[in-house]
Amino acid sequence: MPIHPTIVKLFLALVLAAPLLAHGKAREIEWLDLMPEEEAQAWLNDQTGIDHSGFDAPQAFQSYSVVPELDGQQIRIPGFVVPVETDAEGNLTEFFFVPFFGACIHVPPPPANQIIYGRLDEAIPMVNIWDAFWMEGKLNIEDVSNETADSAYTMDVAKLELYD
């Protein structure tokens, strides 16, 4: 029995549209995915634990090495917000997104390739920095530095939602 031409057209339309549909879905990644493999291993070997007491601060490990394949990708990653910029009403507009609570505050910050500078199109009410979040959006390779920390990535943030 021959296949009806309409079914063939629908099948071809779905095959051609699949990459476009998949492009809109964010890829979930982990923090170490932001580092080249050899950098990730070096950082893991350097970890001595996080001391939030403020005493005996370890030397900061620093790396700006990035993963070029992630540039321009839609990603989703869990982490914590460190506010950087607010609007006149105190709403959050820009922030560092980090892999663990307290990073950049009273412990050495993570390496630049373990920090994402988030930019919101529209300000949102200030978040609780003790809460974990999912951040989703377009990841960019771009250096941002200020007195708090350095980041090797930025994100055009599409979603910031509580981690569940």
Full pLDDT tens readout for the chain, 164 residues: 566 555 544 444 444 444 444 456 899 999 999 999 988 888 788 765 555 555 555 566 788 999 999 999 999 999 999 999 999 999 999 999 999 887 655 567 889 999 999 999 999 999 999 999 999 999 999 999 988 889 999 999 999 999 98
The pLDDT of residue 15: 43
- Per-residue model confidence (pLDDT) at position 46: 72
Residue 56 lies in a domain: no
Does some domain include residue 13?
Answer: no
Instruction: Give the global pTM.
Output: 0.77
Structural domain includes residue 5:
no
* CATH label of the domain that carries residue 108: 2.40.50.870
In this structure, which amino acid lies at residue 3? I
Angle at 121 between CA 119 and CA 124, to 5 degrees: 85
Domain with 129 in it: 26-50+61-162
The reported pLDDT for the residue numbered 10 is: 45
Residue 55 lies in a domain: no
What is the domain count for the chain?
1
Predicted pLDDT at 67: 97
- Taking the C-alpha atoms of residue 126 and residue 120, their distance in angstroms, rounded to an integer, is 12
Strands 74-86 and 132-145: antiparallel
Q: Is 83 a domain residue?
A: yes
20 inside domain? no
Complete DSSP assignment for the chain: -PPPHHHHHHHHHHHHHHHHHHHTSPEE--GGGGS-HHHHHHHHHH-----TTSSSPPPPP------GGGTT-EEEEEEEEEEEEE-TTS-EEEEEEESSTTBTTTBPPPPGGG-EEEEEEEEEPPPPTTSEEEEEEEEEEEEEE-SS-EEEEEEEEEEEEE--
Q: Is residue 118 part of a domain?
A: yes
Q: Identify the pLDDT of residue 43.
A: 72
Residue with tokens 């300000």: 123
The predicted pLDDT at position 47 comes to 67
